Homo-oligomer: A and B are copies of this chain.
Amino acid sequence: MSGEFTIGPKLPALVESVVASYHREARITHIDRAFLPDRGRIVELVERLVELMYPGLHGRQDLTEHNVAYHVGELLPRIGHLTFEQIHQSLRYQAERNEQRDDVGGWRDQARQLAMEFLVRLPTIREWLSDDAQAAYDGDPAALNTDEIILAYPGLLAVTVHRLAHELYKLGIPVMPRIMSEWAHAVTGVDIHPGARIGRSFFIDHATGVVIGETTDIGDRVKIYQGVTLGALSFPKDERGRLIRGAKRHPTVEDDVTIYANAIILGGDTVIGRGSVIGGGVFITSSVPAGATVTFTPPELRIRDRSLTAKADADSAPSASDYEI
């Protein structure tokens, strides 16, 4: 009912001003370059990989002893194709940016080899994911069984995508792993940089708001709740004031640590010792010994009984009738 709008005679001038801005703001323009990883294709790859990891639970439901090999035999070549294609795009994208000499055959061979290396690691990744699913079941009394965790727990999905993206990161593939992890971030609210190293039996409960930085090291059997940040304290700069990229900036979390909701742990020298328990909402920028429990000191709250005061709201100044919890 409101269809008759045309830009009309102003269209050429408008097109010209947009194209001019493409040249002027070249930083956010990607023209006349042949190679770029493709987000849509990478998302399809991730979905196919999740299907391969959890047969019968994601994707086709009617799998049996008899048909499962055919299913895998169909899925793997598609996964292989997408993996090769996007690794190839990513490598050549980076080469083009670095103005490396074109070497078509070489890039293809390299991409082919890296894709195969990734594919043969998939069964091992499944072993790790099996431990992660079990850790989620062991850690959450609301879980009925591991099927429910695979079907409905965003924490496991985030860890699944991370373990896949991390393999590509270790193989030196640029950009592509980060697109995978940001897809998981959008879907689960968990932001794990593909560079983070995470041990076995890792469980993230409730998921939303978790941030795990690039140079984080996490041991085995670690459990993390929603809103936890494992981040950087301040960024080392070179003598010209530019950020030094790649330095260890994020914490080390040893085996058997539990970190409750919204805790913030910062710094590349910060080590959370084995078996420690970090309370909800605490803020930590230095190391914690093994076996410690870290909480707020008790007098952090004041309660005011409003029946004793004429007027009160959440934000007014505390009065003499306050008492500690």
Contact present for A84 and B2 (CB under 8 Å) = yes
**Nearest B-chain residue to A299, judged by Cβ:** B297
Contact present for A119 and B7 (CB under 8 Å) = yes
Contact present for A182 and B123 (CB under 8 Å) = no
Give the complex CA separation of A235 and B243 in angstroms.
42
Give the complex CA separation of A292 and B14 in angstroms.
45
* Number of residues of chain A lying within 8 A (CB) of chain B: 164
Using Cβ atoms and an 8 Å threshold, which residues of chain B touch A178?
Answer: 148, 151-152
Number of copies: 3
CB distance from A18 to the nearest CB of B (A): 5
Using Cβ atoms and an 8 Å threshold, which residues of chain B touch A126?
Answer: 18, 21, 25, 28
Contact present for B277 and A301 (CB under 8 Å) = no
Give the complex CA separation of A258 and B313 in angstroms.
10
CB distance from A158 to the nearest CB of B (A): 11
Contact present for A315 and B144 (CB under 8 Å) = no
Give the complex CA separation of A73 and B17 in angstroms.
11
Using Cβ atoms and an 8 Å threshold, which residues of chain B touch A120?
Answer: 14, 17
Using Cβ atoms and an 8 Å threshold, which residues of chain B touch A300?
Answer: 282-283, 296-297, 300
| B-contacting residues, A132-156, CB 8 Å | 133-134, 138, 140-148, 150-154
| B-contacting residues, A246-263, CB 8 Å | 246-247, 249, 258, 260-262
- Known A126-B28, A148-B175, A264-B281; contact A6-B77, beta-carbon cutoff 8 A: yes
Known: A28-B126, A282-B301, A295-B301. 17 other contacts (CB 8 A): A5-B84, A7-B116, A14-B76, A15-B73, A21-B123, A27-B133, A32-B65, A97-B145, A148-B175, A189-B209, A191-B226, A226-B229, A229-B262, A266-B315, A292-B304, A294-B304, A295-B315
